[in-house]
């Protein structure tokens, strides 16, 4: 019985180890930048996987999805063989142009070079396409996939290609433009092998291809519903990050104001707000909670709770205590601004505060945890001699 039990435990442990190893070897499409203003010299595809992983027999593929009268849809447009390459310590592997390194907004020297600027402009076509990363399993299958470039890999037009007969699909996505919304007599663009659809940007058949797509913070997180921008100047909104951790998905951020501000003797109603994003990956300087429209030249502080919203009378004043007990106070600071005016403010670099106060309420926070913030400040003529802002509910993300 003991031997049988020992054998069962060893078998189970081996299965767990095998499953963990298989998961660790997963390769994700992590970020794609396809089109930007001017000549498309800064295109790239970023993969994410285990640092140090060999990319032997791994191939990145692109299948044409734009419908045309000449039936180009279903053509294998690109096949990049990554045999001989190894994933760097970052766990991120970038296929891109050699001119990507000169991009002011997001410079990076590609791990796999598409080629020279003139020969690689629009290597990622500005239209509906399905992108794959596959494990061909053998050099013979790699050669077969590369040889299939410029041929129809969906000859029976059923949306299922011959790619799975030559490889295991590790990840795929389809980035599409407004052609995906077409109907007869024009025919819609196509997506292959059940890939997830990303795009179009806009509404109807006039919608356009996203400039790029990304997974918020990085795989295995889902693809962000917000897209990368065409305009270099807008890069700060959803920054392109070849070779570095992806930015936070803006639509994943959940921050809401609630409760009611009190009105001070000078008619000020303080309002809670924020700058940055409540991403735990950002650290100090990444997320600041602030309170504006405060009485000038007074003292005050920001406090928070991890127990939920409240709505309790603040004495006989017009304020309400908007967070439940227990509460954590930050240090008292001056509001600056002008005396008897509403131009004062208070701010709290929250991640810096947590770093300096390891025993603070809720510390350390995890993704999905929430905190409820409010501002307190002096207002001597009011019934309770102090006033409170409204509340700010924050949900933290990875």
What tens digit of pLDDT does each residue of 251-286 get? 778 899 999 999 999 999 999 999 988 988 788 998
Does one domain contain both 54 and 179? Answer: yes
Q: Which helix (H) or strand (E) holds 95?
A: strand 92-96
For tokens 């790619």, name the residue.
Answer: 163
In a domain, residue 19? The reply is: no
CA distance 34 to 36: 7
CA distance 363 to 156: 57
Is the pLDDT at 296 greater than 70? The verdict is yes
Does one domain contain both 210 and 351? Answer: no
Instruction: Note down the domain range covering 306.
Output: 253-395
Is the pLDDT at 48 greater than 90? The verdict is yes
Does one domain contain both 30 and 111? Answer: yes
In a domain, residue 160? The reply is: yes
CB-CB contact of 347 with 289 (8 Å):
yes
- What is the pLDDT at residue 72? 87
Does one domain contain both 96 and 164? Answer: yes
Strand stretches in 82-209, DSSP E: 92-96, 112-113, 129-135, 168-175, 196-198
Tell me the average pLDDT of the chain.
89
Report residue 44's pLDDT band, with 50, 70 and 90 as the boundaries: very high
Is the pLDDT at 221 greater than 70? The verdict is yes
In a domain, residue 300? The reply is: yes
- Where among 190, 219, 251 does a domain terminate? 251
Is the pLDDT at 40 greater than 90? The verdict is no
Nearest to 389 by CA among 289, 320, 306, 288: 320
Instruction: For residue 10, give the 3-state DSSP assignment.
Output: helix
Does one domain contain both 312 and 344? Answer: yes
- DSSP letters, 17-31, are HHHHHHHHT--EEEE
321-342 pLDDT, tens digit per residue, is 999 999 999 999 999 999 999 9
- Where among 218, 251, 284 does a domain terminate? 251
SS3 content of the chain, % helix, strand, coil (to 5): 15, 35, 50
In a domain, residue 126? The reply is: yes
Report residue 237's pLDDT band, with 50, 70 and 90 as the boundaries: low
In a domain, residue 143? The reply is: yes
- Where among 216, 234, 251 does a domain terminate? 251
Tokens (6 digits) for 5: 């039990």
Report residue 212's pLDDT band, with 50, 70 and 90 as the boundaries: very high
For tokens 């803006």, name the residue.
Answer: 250
Query: Residue 390's Cα: distance from chain center in Å?
Result: 29
In a domain, residue 233? The reply is: yes
Does one domain contain both 215 and 323? Answer: no
61-102 pLDDT, tens digit per residue, is 999 999 987 788 999 999 999 999 999 999 999 999 888 998
Does one domain contain both 228 and 143? Answer: yes
Burial class (CB in 10 A: 0-12, 13-18, 19+), 36: buried
CB-CB contact of 263 with 317 (8 Å):
no
> How far from 68 is each of 186, 193, 220, CA to CA, in Å?
9, 20, 34
Does one domain contain both 257 and 227? Answer: no
181-193 pLDDT, tens digit per residue, is 988 777 899 999 9
Q: How many domains does the chain have?
A: 2
Domain harbouring 315, CATH code: 2.60.40
CA distance 207 to 201: 6
CA distance 18 to 24: 10
CB-CB contact of 92 with 170 (8 Å):
no
In a domain, residue 263? The reply is: yes
CB-CB contact of 64 with 174 (8 Å):
no
Does one domain contain both 293 and 195? Answer: no
In a domain, residue 7? The reply is: no
CA distance 315 to 384: 6
Q: In this predicted model, which residue has the larger pLDDT, 380 or 19?
A: 380
Does one domain contain both 62 and 187? Answer: yes
Does one domain contain both 120 and 195? Answer: yes
Q: Is 70 left (phi over 0), alpha (psi -120 to 50) or beta?
A: alpha
- DSSP letters, 170-189, are EEEEEE--GGGG--TTS---
Does one domain contain both 287 and 243? Answer: no
Nearest to 391 by CA among 313, 304, 267: 304
């Amino acid at each position: 019985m003991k031997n049988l039990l020992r054998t069962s435990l060893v078998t189970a442990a081996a299965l767990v180890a095998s499953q963990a190893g298989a998961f660790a070897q997963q390769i994700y499409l992590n970020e794609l930048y396809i089109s930007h203003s001017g000549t498309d010299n800064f295109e790239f595809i970023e993969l994410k996987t285990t640092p140090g992983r060999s990319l032997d027999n791994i191939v990145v593929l692109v299948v044409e999805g734009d419908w045309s009268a000449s039936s180009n849809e279903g053509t294998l447009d690109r096949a990049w063989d990554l045999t001989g390459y190894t994933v760097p310590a970052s766990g991120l592997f970038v296929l891109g142009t050699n001119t990507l390194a000169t991009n002011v907004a997001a410079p990076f020297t590609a791990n796999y070079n598409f080629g020279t600027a003139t020969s690689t402009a629009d290597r990622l076509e500005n239209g509906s396409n399905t992108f794959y990363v596959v494990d061909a399993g053998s050099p013979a299958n790699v050669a077969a996939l590369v040889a299939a470039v410029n041929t129809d890999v969906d000859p029976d037009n059923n949306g299922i290609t011959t790619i799975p007969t030559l490889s295991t699909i590790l990840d795929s996505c389809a980035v599409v433009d407004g052609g995906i919304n077409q109907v007869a007599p024009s025919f819609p663009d196509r997506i292959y092998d059940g890939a997830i659809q990303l795009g179009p940007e806009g509404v109807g058949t006039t919608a356009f291809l996203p400039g790029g797509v990304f997974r918020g913070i990085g795989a295995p997180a889902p693809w962000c519903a917000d897209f990368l921008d065409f305009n270099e100047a807008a890069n700060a909104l959803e920054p392109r990050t070849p070779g570095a951790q992806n930015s936070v998905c803006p639509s994943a951020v959940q921050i809401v104001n609630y409760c009611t501000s009190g009105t001070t003797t000078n008619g000020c109603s303080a309002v809670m707000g924020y700058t940055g994003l409540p991403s735990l990956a950002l650290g100090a300087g990444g997320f600041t909670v602030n309170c504006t429209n405060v009485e000038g030249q007074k003292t005050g502080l920001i406090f928070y709770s991890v127990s939920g919203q409240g709505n309790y009378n603040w004495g006989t004043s017009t304020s309400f205590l908007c967070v439940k007990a227990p509460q954590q106070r930050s240090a008292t600071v001056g509001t600056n601004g002008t005396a008897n005016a509403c131009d004062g403010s208070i701010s709290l670099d929250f991640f810096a505060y947590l770093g300096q106060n390891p025993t603070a309420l809720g510390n350390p926070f995890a993704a999905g945890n929430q905190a409820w913030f409010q501002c307190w400040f002096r207002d001597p003529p009011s019934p309770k001699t102090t006033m409170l802002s409204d509340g700010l509910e924050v949900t933290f993300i990875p």
